Chains A and B, each alone.
Chain A
């Protein structure tokens, strides 16, 4: 039986534990810190070639590239979360521990998302240092709320990814498949209005799209992004409920078939 403060403490502890674990991985260092810088540079050069050199455009690119890193870290960090526990032999211990497993998994996925957000800081610094990008926000007081909403939505989506991808034997291959399409559909560097309507509709269901809109709205928007923040919170609840259901199905099946620890 766990009370709310105990649960929050558990999620908090696992989040930071996982951030430290991922920081020891060269792959996640690359995904979180280096890849967004490469994409930011590409974005800056491409927009420069198109004659777009305004500070707001640079900020648009830096935020979008940073969010691309957040999505990659979420995708790979959460997609393989349960599979790694299986490989390391800790899954059975965690599932049978008195603490609720969904809280442990939540901490793990939030850890990946929080690490991903360091990438946004890296792209902002990169843009400011190399391309003279101004660092300013139209609604500085709304910005932390936007970031918190985006973290919540992406963390919950991460839980759903973790519980779904475990059904596929090669979660990393799914990660390789889903990086580019979500970058595109969520409008991270290209406005979704340039895409066909049916593609835009897919984006409406995705946390990266609303998270990006919330952060961009607070940084360079003309009005506070309350709708996007609200959508982040709604999606966070929907993803979390779906992930809980999925987790129960997956764990029940694994217990019934005695396959919890099988690789």
Chain B
């Protein structure tokens, strides 16, 4: 690859049809090729078995220690486990381009960066939804979770928004990982932060004030609260604000992820560090 080719501006928009193909097929391919867990021998233990036991663990611990119903912890963790797919998946979908050696080829193409970046979201949102719905079913069957059928659509909307925003923070972590030795370290930290700060097991109101500030800046906090209230029968009028806030937080993280990805691309071209690990 020549220096001229590397330094040439490559961002082009070749029409909506090309962008759509890049978004749709590129996203699907990135899931199949870059998501290390997309095979049954890893997927089942990690994204089915792990979340199942996580639900039972926190339902037991939470109800024993705090006296709250196991269903409270089951709902919180059923939503939180979508982060396994969203955060880790998006981190791998972006950072693995570098580790698998495909990043220079990708960035040498004139592909629309927006479509390329956005296409990676869809498979992981679908995956996160699947894991969460599965975990919710475990909660309903074994841990006493009850969903108000009249507002199940609102629960679904809140869940979808929450999974999107968690995938968005995963995209930011993916972009950061382009510069790190071990991107999954940050992904693990995000997972832990969500467990602690976002009202998954401890209500946000019970946290010290300075921790609540962090809670409100993270994805999950508002979306999870919307899921909890909608599961208890609250309608869109009551939780619409929470869902909108969650969506805005997600969009902000997605924009930050895309911005950082673009910045690192420019910086790597300028400093010839595209392939440096």
Contact = CB atoms under 8 A, between A and B. Distances in A.
Interface stretch (B146-154, B199-207, B228-236, B238-246): B199-207
Q: Interface centre among B42, B54, B61, B192, by most A CB within 10 Å?
A: B61
Given A26-B181, A27-B184, A38 B202 contact: no
Contacts of B207: 45
B202 A49 contact: yes
Contact of B206 (A49, A174, A189): A49
A234 interface: no
Contacts, number: 92
Contact of B66 (A25, A35, A47): A47
B185 interface: yes
B60 A177 contact: no
B263 interface: no
Contacts of B53: 177, 179-181, 184
A70 B266 CA distance: 43
Nearest to A35: B192
Nearest to A194: B64
Interface residues of B, number: 32
Chain A interface mostly helix, strand, loop or mixed? helix
Given A27-B185, A27-B188, A195-B60, A46 B202 contact: yes
A195 B202 CA distance: 22
Interface stretch (B3-11, B43-51, B136-144): B43-51
B62 to A, nearest CB: 6
A43 interface: yes
Given A177-B50, A180-B53, A194-B60, A43 B65 contact: yes
A43 B189 CA distance: 18
A173 B41 contact: yes
19 contacts: A30-B188, A34-B189, A35-B188, A35-B192, A38-B195, A42-B201, A42-B202, A45-B202, A45-B207, A49-B66, A49-B67, A168-B41, A173-B37, A173-B45, A176-B46, A180-B54, A184-B60, A190-B60, A194-B64
Interface of A: 25-27, 30, 34-35, 38, 41-43, 45-47, 49-50, 52, 168-170, 172-174, 176-177, 179-181, 183-184, 189-191, 194-195
